[in-house]
Chain A
Amino acid sequence: MVRHCRFLAFALLFGHGLVMAETDEDGFKRPLDQLKINPALDQREFERATLQALNVYDPWDSWNRRVYHFNYRFDEWVFLPVVRGYEFVTPRFVRSGVSNFFGNLGDVPNLLNSLLQFKGKRAMQTTGRLLINTTIGVAGLWDPATRMGLPKQREDFGQTLGFYGVPDGPYLVLPILGPSNLRDTGGLVVDFTAESQINFLNVSEVSSDHPEILGLRVIDQRYTTNFRYGQVNSPFEYEKVRYVYTRARELQIAE
């Protein structure tokens, strides 16, 4: 019954504003007839919008493309096989524990950058996450905070710089790390330095003696990233990734 009501709610919400299309004798609803279409069919909006979207400042294009191809090969031949091995030898709860643990460490820069952008509510929530996950979640191995309604909210120093109006600079493809730009690469360095200075849960200090911790972190990073090279399946994947990265960063900074 409850499910039925949900159906009904869905139908009402989605149905409104739409004239019920009448069907012809074959039962065809002619969905295109509902659209306001430019009668001359000479609107060049797709072309105009896409050409403009291709204008991403990319003076190091040639180098970037070579790094992109290097990353693609590295991903195919090293990264993904290692991730598959990792998936093979560890049960799922171990992997989610690892992801949560490093995710909890990542909440430290999230908190700092929220504060730097005067996002008070977000800073409070991230503080709450850190407290709950570090204590009840046993040093971050579990993530009870998300279940309690405190979702993870990423903020990095690149976003903070963007918040203060620093332009993103040339597009840059980093070896192994992937798409970035000059501003965000600087932000990455700052976040990394801050993390090793703060040395939360002693992880940074221990990592310097045990590089395998850093290795695990890198594997976990790849494990949790859904992107696969080639899935866009286009000769212009480089251009598409570049656009999506640039726009996604703008969205993250605006939000």
Chain B
Amino acid sequence: MPRLARFAALLGGLILSAPLLAQDIDPAGYGYPLENPFEATIATTPPELRPPLPTDEDIDQSDYSLKLRPEREFELPSNFWPVKTLRYRLARQDKPAPLIFIIAGTGAHYSNSTMEFLKKLFYGAGFHVVQLSSPSSWDFMAAASRFATPGLSTDDADDLYRVMQAVRAQHPKLPITEFYLTGYSLGGLHAAFVSQLDETRRSFNFKRVLLLNPPVNLYTSVTNLDRLVQTRVKGIDDDNTFYEVVLAKLTRYFQQRGYIDLNDALLYDFQQSRQRLSNEEMAMLIGTSFRFSSADIAFTSDLINRRGLITPTKYPIDEGTDLSPFFKRALQCDFDCYITEQLIPMWRARYDGGSLTQMVNQVSLYALEEYLKTSDKIAVMHNADDVILGPGDLGFLRRTLGDRLTLYPLGGHCGNLNYRVNTKAMLEYFRG
């Protein structure tokens, strides 16, 4: 009998001490209709499966601007006038309410469609909402970033934290009960670093932090994105570039339909027509949009820091200057090129940095492993078919977060954010 009791105690101890398992959403019951990760990434959720949202007219919102880096007024050329102050958007409730900060993804503006969607979702659930541009976006780099060389997550989080504090200071009368934080894609990674920073600076004491489809290893993610423009697309030859192949399909589709009608359902209808895009074409499209981001980052970082890699350092630029030659040069620079030519040299010069691997470990979620393990207020939602992940990334999240990781079987990169099942889970997490 005592042996049995001892055995029971051992068994009980084993069960209790075993790591909590991630919440894997069962594919059969999930019901998300797009099984193709590329299609999901581009088209997101069909309109009838999205949650009900408040309309813009129901939302009390305005754009504000912050002057955080007054010296940039003089350092930046005059055609940068729209980004000499940092804009953000605040939607306010008419009564005391919790406030949520939303951080945008790679290169994204505070008012892009995903940000507007998240704003409506959280506003409808009773939050004040602040939308912030990504530290990797043109406006943030010019107006708020100290070094204007995004990619070092701790620096980016520091810049973001100053912005958040300035936002708070600009609205002293806004009745806020608690602070929450979220971000999607690269913004998710930033949210984790901001949350860690807040543990020491204590301006907000975030109650809960949710990372949506964050990169785990930043280098894996940007390598994946760089690879997407290397797919083999049929029909490309000397006379037809990739854009022409896609546009020709679109033209034929509209001709068969008889008229042009741009709306949310268009993408689904298009993908069911004979002109539907192949996986390679969709991958190329996704890759293209990220290449435009990397071109913007490379150009802006080089110009603000006067590195002379893309724009000659003394080149006179005003509102009439043709930027095409610099655009053409910046286009040749993918994320890997930006890291090699600008990020690593800056990191080595400023922080006495070492190898690429060391830097990758510092800027990825690995750097926060202990913090993520012990902080119950942080959760991650991710997809099993996300194109920014590599082998082993989900294993890291499972080990580190346990049951605070929710893994959806489908959705590509952020494609299921606006699916009703996901939005319900997001709101439930914040409501506690």
Contact = CB atoms under 8 A, between A and B. Distances in A.
Closest 6 CB pairs of A and B: A49-B241, A233-B109, A10-B33, A26-B394, A62-B320, A46-B229
A251 B322 contact: no
Interface string A22-61: 0111111111101111100101011111111110000001
A107 B312 CA distance: 51
A239 B109 contact: no
Nearest to B387: A31
B35 A14 contact: yes
A233 B391 contact: no
Contacts of A247: 243, 247
Interface size class of A (residues with CB under 8 A): 35 or more
* Chain B interface bracket (under 10, 10 to 19, 20 to 34, 35 or more): 35 or more
B291 A72 contact: no
Contacts, number: 193
Contact of A236 (B242, B254, B296, B398): B296
A11 interface: yes
Contacts of A7: 31, 33
Contacts of A230: 82, 87, 109, 139
A197 interface: no
B180 interface: no
A6 B33 CA distance: 9
A210 interface: no
B24 A27 contact: yes
Contact of B229 (A15, A23, A43, A61): A43
Contacts of B398: 26
A20 B35 CA distance: 8
B133 A233 contact: yes
Interface string A139-152: 00000000000010
Nearest to A234: B296
A225 interface: no
A36 B280 contact: yes
B35 A28 contact: no
B323 interface: yes
Contacts of B34: 10, 14
B251 A254 contact: yes
A223 interface: no
Contacts of B320: 61-63, 65-66
A151 B38 contact: no
Contacts of B393: 26, 28
